[in-house]
Structure 1
């Protein structure tokens, strides 16, 4: 390690995090179904996960809905005897002011960390100086520790190279980064400079969890953990236990299944409902539909999702609950 910066005051734990899908009532306005959300949160905790509280569909949620979901997540953790369970809430706004407000909302609702995308609506205006100022200003104005979220495909092409991320890593309230850009080179460059306690680096999906860990990364944040939480947690545990060949085999199976999540929010939510809904105690498949104007998958896509994920069912069912 080459950096001499101090360890962060609050270090984000290593492990597997999940951007929890939002669940809605089958009504015209699709109000958030908080009862179903509580059941899903409990199911995921039992699956051995840490999690990113509400970021998966935060763009479709009001500020009040975001706050309430963080509260529900915290209640689920407390009820399962995990009061210190780390919760990471989505706090992304297009302005500095909005992001600060969302960070304060998340903190007051019980979040431990905030996951923050870069501003991206006017991409040509998002210069390096604008990016640095944005993240530093938000981190200055809240005590909620910030995790940078690098996702250029969803951010109008706005990307952050490893030098920019390294500059931000030096802020005392910026504790890590989620790399959904899929750039493994950023992992190795950043982990060469910073140890986990200084600036944690996570893969943005589980299909390259092992490459991230080999590069000294700290884990991953992955949508497929909504569907097969125990399997992804098992993959991480195999690596930590030094069972490399078994980890490699499971990594391939997880990567094959994750193809469905790469297809978007509707296939991901269908998979959660189909494979995990009954285990979580949620019976109505419409609870897992996307919020309008986005549409659920059709029959052809649903059949494809089932086919590419089916091989993980037996593995998932063979693993014990963590709680």
Structure 2
């Protein structure tokens, strides 16, 4: 109910063109596994390797595949990060036109020395005001030259009617707790979450704030701290396990949740070490599709693939049993 997956994007192994059938197949596999929603154009989706037109295509194809498979209400969160306010807003409009429901926005970082906290707050305020869809703040220091929004900044931004959540890949559960407490964030025991069709306007006051962890290895910790769930790349490999972990917590089965969290955390360590290259190698080995990341990312040799695949075996065995 609170496991969102930043979906991997797939390419033809020779031409590196988008592999539309596999993109569609993967989205439907995730939906059937019971995830709460899908994110396109995230770090796992190699957004930095895609043109604007390719971004639109990936989201449009994902929406079409989900609709055709009977998942028309499953929300799509679209990564819309860019270095300028103007391009970020443009990406938000393109996300809506392509079938996206929400935008996930990184802070700009190229001119980091000149971007104070006040400047970043103004950036998110401007984007949220102009965006045709609600936005989630994406706090991922590793992707933005170490920029790490503090809880005060995010709590302040949460007052904007078109900012409906955050993804904390910083892994700071203390920060998550402060934000969740201050915003009255949605929890898995609540009756509402992000939906593909908000009950009124995108800025509806009935939309509770979503405080999401950005990695599967601290899902339970995030939930106990008052979080709403996760947007985690590990869901590409083990969507059932990620969704099951949140279900266990929501139903009060804490000891079972702890056991599952341990397996998930070990699997996520493999995903963290292997990055998108390792995730695709694991998908190829265990599920028959995956391929390679776009250049300039390298293609691993057999030894590197074998090592990462072995690290995923425990989790995949569990995933296939669910």
Whole-angstrom distance in 2 between the partners of 1:235 and 1:185: 21
For residue 295 of structure 2, give the secondary structure of its aligned residue in structure 1.
Answer: coil
Do structure 1's residue 272 and structure 2's residue 283 form an aligned pair?
yes
- Alignment-derived partner of residue 271 in structure 2: 261
> Are the equivalent residues in 1 in contact too, given 2:151–2:175 (CA < 8 A)?
yes
1:306 pairs, out of 309, 317, 321, with: 309
- Alignment-derived partner of residue 253 in structure 2: 243
- The size of the alignment, in residue pairs, is 297
2:140 pairs, out of 143, 151, 175, with: 151
1:42 pairs, out of 8, 15, 28, with: 28
Do structure 1's residue 25 and structure 2's residue 12 form an aligned pair?
yes
Whole-angstrom distance in 1 between the partners of 2:158 and 2:281: 37
The worse-fitting range, judged by mean Cα deviation, of 75-84 and 157-166 is: 75-84
Whole-angstrom distance in 2 between the partners of 1:272 and 1:221: 18
Do structure 1's residue 230 and structure 2's residue 216 form an aligned pair?
no
Shift of 1:208: 0.1
Shift of 1:259: 1.0
Do structure 1's residue 75 and structure 2's residue 57 form an aligned pair?
no
Matches within 5 A, 1:103-118: 103-118=92-107
- Alignment-derived partner of residue 58 in structure 1: 47
- Alignment-derived partner of residue 154 in structure 2: 165
Shift of 1:216: 0.9
Whole-angstrom distance in 2 between the partners of 1:183 and 1:160: 11
Whole-angstrom distance in 2 between the partners of 1:141 and 1:313: 42
- Alignment-derived partner of residue 3 in structure 2: 16
- Alignment-derived partner of residue 115 in structure 2: 126
Unaligned runs of 5+ in 2: 187-206
- Alignment-derived partner of residue 318 in structure 1: 321
- Alignment-derived partner of residue 201 in structure 2: none
For residue 124 of structure 2, give the secondary structure of its aligned residue in structure 1.
Answer: helix
Whole-angstrom distance in 1 between the partners of 2:114 and 2:284: 40
For residue 158 of structure 1, give the secondary structure of its aligned residue in structure 2.
Answer: coil
Q: TM-score, normalised by structure 2?
A: 0.89
Whole-angstrom distance in 2 between the partners of 1:273 and 1:231: 19
Whole-angstrom distance in 2 between the partners of 1:54 and 1:142: 17
Shift of 1:236: 1.2
Deviations 1:237-278 (A, max 9, x none): 1111111111100100000011121122211221222223x3
For residue 259 of structure 1, give the secondary structure of its aligned residue in structure 2.
Answer: helix
Whole-angstrom distance in 1 between the partners of 2:136 and 2:299: 31
For residue 164 of structure 2, give the secondary structure of its aligned residue in structure 1.
Answer: strand
> Are the equivalent residues in 2 in contact too, given 1:210–1:251 (CA < 8 A)?
yes
Shift of 1:199: 2.1
Q: TM-score, normalised by structure 1?
A: 0.89
Shift of 1:33: 0.8
Whole-angstrom distance in 2 between the partners of 1:313 and 1:128: 41
Unaligned runs of 5+ in 1: 1-13
> Are the equivalent residues in 2 in contact too, given 1:269–1:289 (CA < 8 A)?
yes
Matches within 5 A, 1:157-196: 157-195=146-184, 196=186
Residues 236 and 242 from structure 1, CA distance in 2 versus in 1: closer, same or farther, beyond 3 angstroms? same
Shift of 1:143: 1.9
For residue 148 of structure 2, give the secondary structure of its aligned residue in structure 1.
Answer: coil
> Are the equivalent residues in 2 in contact too, given 1:270–1:296 (CA < 8 A)?
no
